Structure 1
């Protein structure tokens, strides 16, 4: 069983790299913004892949549209992925928005506000 975990992680890592290249070089859709692949999570049997993305400089609706567009393009992206990876079967791709980046930015803003209010109180 430990080998399954190692292989799954290696395949997920390689898939993440290849997906980033595919989105950068092969996908020319004006509906897509600047998309970053954050993580690829594969099922144990490698049959399905959850791909977590972030979209920079977009509101909530734009982020949702990017996820919808990528899910519509999933068969094309999967076909391109099959050309690049040496696997017998390529996982079915499902794209999801990763909210951890937004959460991290919000926490940083709150910490900055607390820092600024503390320095303001110390000078008074």
Structure 2
């Protein structure tokens, strides 16, 4: 029977779980604030982990870029803490990437809602005109 998950997937899940706790309790940089870890992608040779994050409460792209830079500067500390928790020979290097998919998804959802409201308003006006005749 084949395995359901590859080793990289299992390691990515473990890294995501541990980093969530470390970011919440150990990292004290005010530039970072609250972080959501959307996904962790580990390379096949287990040397690099790409962590896709979004920042709660950051309004501008500049604030998000600054928070991403702060996370990447703290990557060495986080990697050392991660090495203490994981039972693997080498701990992957951490590379944090700001993930814009949730922001773009919210904007698209708002545009769809706006278009549907305008369409309903336009069709409601046409129904009122035909009822008056």
Q: TM-score, normalised by structure 2?
A: 0.87
Greater gyration radius: 2
Residue aligned with 1:38, SS: strand
Partner of 2:128: none
Match of 2:51 in 1: 51
**Residues of 2 paired with 1:103 and 1:22: CA distance?**
27
- Equivalent position SS for 2:116: helix
1:40 corresponds to 2:40: yes
Task: Provide the secondary structure at the position in 2 that maps to 1:52.
Answer: strand
Unaligned runs of 5+ residues in structure 2 are 126-133
Per-residue deviation, residues 8-56 of structure 1 (Å, max 9, x unmatched): 1100111111111110111111111211111111110100111110012
Within a 5 Å distance, the mapping from 1:1-124 to structure 2 comes to 6-58=6-58, 59-124=60-125
SS of 2:53 mapped into structure 1: strand
Partners of 1:110 and 1:24 in 2: CA distance: 33
In 2: Cα distance, 1:68 partner to 1:123 partner: 50
1:88 is displaced (CA, Å) by 1.1
Distance in 2, Cα, partners of 1:31 & 1:107: 28
Q: How many residues align?
A: 122
Q: Kindly report the root-mean-square deviation, in angstroms, between the aligned alpha carbons of the 2 structures.
A: 1.3
Deviation beyond 6 Å, 4+ runs, structure 1: none
